[in-house]
Structure 1
């Protein structure tokens, strides 16, 4: 059935994204396109859940027919403490972006963000195994990416943050292959790397880049998780240098596809999800 023919009934399964704020989330557009592509009887909505209402909301998920939950800021860490158990990644990160409710009513917390980024690299024909990676940033996104890179068998992971102490907190997630990159060494480290990932907010809504001109080459793969704008200044620099580029929408789409696979057991069509997201961003 196409999106225009979908009829919501009492049997339709409901998934939601929770956060505060959540008004401008792309998740409903992306997920409803994914459900339509899979021809599953699911629908998806956004719910604003304030911090002081989170525990009550999780209780409602246990007691109602809500079948899946996407979790965004500021709830990811708190949800990790409220579900019944965590998968490997969510446990390491102490953070959850996906709640799966089992047939027995158990709530299981997952983290699909980092794996979504690795999926976006695979989609672009880029192997992670053994590659030397620079990660810019040390927030929640960077944590999930470092964890996933290590699990997927990357080479050295060099982490750069304006506050080096924050970058050091990510080293346990790198499973022995991580190092902190000092500010003065950044551009030399980038030149000797294979993959550069901007996991910071630099470039979001503004024409700035975390790297100066002339650092990137045609040998690099450059990923920017920022998707507003979709073509960031960093990606423009990379394209001019001949680097292969992966925009921030790819991670968003692929982590959502992993969420749907966990909820429904069906892998959605990421092309349909991408088209819907691009229309919404236009």
Structure 2
């Protein structure tokens, strides 16, 4: 609980500074300028949610969720709570004691939280990973919204229905595994996993049951959907909200931003390419695909839709997806992630 209290104290100071600036109050304590809207301060009735991970400095989750609360006029607040590796159980105990309504979970805690909770959804249990914690009658329940968030994004934003389609996923980490499971549950005809480590690739493909198998990069040809679930191409200043590390500035795994497992020359019109990286908004892989006339999207859609599902689990309200997307787009445009 001490970990959570320290995180809340640091965040409170940051929130107060931000709100005072927004209200026009100077360090000297001078009042806000006339004409500005009044500040709505959190009270004892304000319901609290947050993200736990390490690091969480660049997390976009506070932007997404606070924009959603504001859009619907909900008396909720969402904060980033740095929790070091190995202290997930303490953080959960603190959240329960403090009455926190919901948590987002990022690296390195997704597996630890799944193991610590007494109750998880079937999806989270299968993945052995939790990205969302929901409070229900004083019980904390683990959920995974990543895979369904991906499906919601490709369906609503690109009109792509995986049912009966051939899909290839590059990468067998947390994001890749969630996408593989979701595609199989959505009725994909085939889910092929390409990964440098064969053992991890097989484990991910097994999540898709009889339609899953390990494949080769050359099989990109003929696929309806290609998903890059590796971090190659990510700006090397931090992690994404799914916890994927940015690639090193140099070294064997640095391929100039384009994964060697995804050859853009094999892509063709009629396919959909989704690169789960969202910072930068246009990776070298996306740029190369678009030059070939291939429909291509970054990971912002999945980020927004997985957060929208978490929002709905916590609040019981329909998520204002447009407001959430606009807020995160503004931050990314200004380079604030």
Among 99, 102, 121, which residue is 1:87 paired with? 121
Q: Measure, in 2, the Cα distance between the counterparts of 1:235 and 1:154.
A: 23
Where does residue 169 of structure 2 map in the other structure?
Answer: 135
CA separation of 1:5/1:148 partners in 2, compared to 1, >3 Å: closer, same or farther? Answer: farther
Among 85, 98, 111, which residue is 2:144 paired with? 111
Pairs within 5 Å for 1:1-282: 6-102=40-136, 104-123=137-156, 124-182=158-216, 186-187=217-218, 189-205=219-235, 207-210=256-259, 211-281=262-332, 282=334
CA separation of 1:27/1:109 partners in 2, compared to 1, >3 Å: closer, same or farther? Answer: same
Moved over 6 A (4+): none
Q: Measure, in 2, the Cα distance between the counterparts of 1:240 and 1:101.
A: 46
Provide, for residues 81-130 of structure 1, a one-character-per-residue CA deviation record: whole Å limited to 9, x for no partner: 1112010110100100000010x211110000111111110112111111
Answer with 81-90 or 47-56: which moved more: 47-56
The alpha-carbon deviation at position 5 of structure 1 amounts to 5.7
Q: Measure, in 2, the Cα distance between the counterparts of 1:195 and 1:98.
A: 27
Q: Measure, in 1, the Cα distance between the counterparts of 2:200 and 2:171.
A: 9
3-state DSSP of counterpart to 1:99 = strand
Q: Measure, in 2, the Cα distance between the counterparts of 1:172 and 1:141.
A: 15
The alpha-carbon deviation at position 7 of structure 1 amounts to 3.7
Q: Measure, in 2, the Cα distance between the counterparts of 1:10 and 1:112.
A: 29
- Stretches of structure 1 lacking an aligned partner (at least 5 in a row): none
The alpha-carbon deviation at position 171 of structure 1 amounts to 2.3
Q: Measure, in 2, the Cα distance between the counterparts of 1:91 and 1:4.
A: 45
The alpha-carbon deviation at position 4 of structure 1 amounts to 7.6
Q: Measure, in 2, the Cα distance between the counterparts of 1:11 and 1:157.
A: 47
- Stretches of structure 2 lacking an aligned partner (at least 5 in a row): 1-36, 237-255
Alpha-carbon contact 2:264-2:285 (below 8 Å) kept: no
Q: Measure, in 2, the Cα distance between the counterparts of 1:272 and 1:143.
A: 28
Q: Measure, in 1, the Cα distance between the counterparts of 2:288 and 2:38.
A: 40
Alpha-carbon contact 2:269-2:295 (below 8 Å) kept: yes
Provide, for residues 66-88 of structure 1, a one-character-per-residue CA deviation record: whole Å limited to 9, x for no partner: 11000000000000011120101
Q: CA RMSD in A?
A: 1.5
3-state DSSP of counterpart to 1:92 = helix
Q: TM-score, normalised by structure 2?
A: 0.79
CA separation of 1:122/1:5 partners in 2, compared to 1, >3 Å: closer, same or farther? Answer: farther
3-state DSSP of counterpart to 1:219 = coil
The structure with the larger Rg is: 2
